[in-house]
Structure 1
Amino acid sequence: MPIELVRVDHRLVHGQVTMGWSRAVGADVLLVISDRVAASPFDISLMEMAVPPGVRLVVWSVDQARQAAADGAWPDGKVLALVANPIDLERLVAAGLTLSEVNIGGVRSEGARHKLTKEVHATDDELVAWKTLAGQGIRLSVQWLPAQKRKLLNDEIAKR
């Protein structure tokens, strides 16, 4: 599978991704999976400005990514996939994306009532999605930068 890393981060493309994670995994494609961004030429152009030289930006809606997951048809290259929330990620896994581990950055949605870690806050629906992902044996690792220590979100989710 050409996906080197899947990261859940509400900010999608930003410095930690472009300078840290894309370099750490040798990604030459940033695949943003977001209905909001896919529908906004303005957001796409902002993200294109942040992408480092030699790295290509591909933006798909969640449905486009679900179809790719079902078909195993990802963009050519070493892909760093970026998803804004666990609900969209759970939809991709349900469509056939096979994962053993997910990297998690900042995840904070409006209306989030559950503080899972300093970096990860969840709405009721997001908590259900995190539990579903953890229940499928996916390791949920909170880690802002490659050199930092990982925190396992699975342990916190199991308490709820």
Structure 2
Amino acid sequence: MVHMRIDNRLIHGQVTVAWASHLSADHMIVCNDKVAQDPIQKMMLPAAARGVKTSVLSVADTLAYCASPEAEQERIFIIAKFPSDALALLDGGLKPQEINVGNQAPIPGTKFTMVTRTCAVTPEDAAIYREIVKRGYELTGRMVPADPKNDFIELIAKKGL
């Protein structure tokens, strides 16, 4: 597995055009238990991937697939919908080379702070991001590969989270 991006918009232009090609990914996996149970999203997300093999899987199914012999032959790009999905994957033994926070659109009814123009973070999210870093991972915040790698923990700390 090459890269993990935390992005609650899932598959969109930045992901398919910029990230998938930058990473030379030949398989994108959207990982979230609720999305994996939604037949419409399971149909629409691969269509938005513009020809890159795409799977929409639960956390457990993502872990099982990534442990399979087939996965060893692929350059996998995982898009975790929420930081909690990313942490569950790490807890399950996944070892991405890099973890990036992309878009986190505000969720109505939550107490969020806009950390960047496109990243809403709740206090609960901030705790999860810190836990990811405690596991030994650098957590960067950037929209596209050409952007500088910002330390996401520094960004949330500057906002008081």
User: In which range does the TM-score fall when normalised by the shorter chain?
Assistant: 0.7 to 0.9
Post-superposition Cα deviations, 1:101-144, rounded to whole Å, max 9, x if no partner, equal 31111113411423333332222321211111122221111111
Cross-structure match for 1:154: 153
Equivalent in the alignment of 1:80: 77
For the Cα contact (< 8 Å) 1:18–1:51, is it kept in 2?
Answer: yes
Segments of 5+ residues of structure 1 without an aligned counterpart are: none
* Matching of residues 72-111 of structure 1 within 5 Å: 72-73=67-68, 75=71, 76-99=73-96, 101-110=98-107, 111=110
Q: Counterpart of 2:12?
A: 14
Q: Measure, in 2, the Cα distance between the counterparts of 1:127 and 1:90.
A: 12
Query: How many aligned residue pairs are there?
Result: 155
Give the 3-state SS of the residue equivalent to 1:80 in structure 2.
strand
CA distance, structure 2, for counterparts of residue 4 and residue 62 of structure 1 = 17
Identical positions, percent = 25
Give the counterpart of 2:38 among 37, 40, 59.
40
Amino acid in the other structure paired with 2:36: A
Question: Which amino acid counterpart does residue 34 of structure 1 have in structure 2?
Answer: N
The amino acid of 2:150's aligned partner reads K
2, 5, 16: which one pairs with 1:4? 2
Give the gaps of 5 or more residues in structure 2.
none
Q: Is residue 66–residue 91 contact of structure 1 (8 Å, CA) maintained in 2?
A: no
Tell me the distance in 2 between the aligned counterparts of 1:88 and 1:18: 20
1:129 aligns with 2:155: no
Taking only aligned residues, the RMSD between alpha carbons, in angstroms, comes to 2.0
Could you list the runs of 4 or more consecutive aligned residues of structure 1 that deviate by over 6 angstroms after TM superposition?
none
Contact 1:114 1:121 in 2 (8 A): yes
Q: Which residue of 2 aligns with 1:116?
A: 115
**How far apart are residue 40 of structure 1 and its match?**
1.0
CA offset at residue 98 of structure 1?
Answer: 2.1
Note the 1:52-71 alignment, pairs <5 A: 52-53=50-51, 55-68=52-65
Contact 2:104–2:118 (CA under 8 A) maintained in structure 1: yes
Shift of 1:23: 0.4
Q: Is the CA contact (8 Å cut-off) linking 1:62 and 1:92 kept in structure 2?
A: yes
Q: Is residue 28 from structure 1 mapped to residue 31 from structure 2 by the alignment?
A: no
Secondary structure of the 1:116 match is strand
Q: Distance in 2 between matches of 1:149 and 1:105?
A: 13
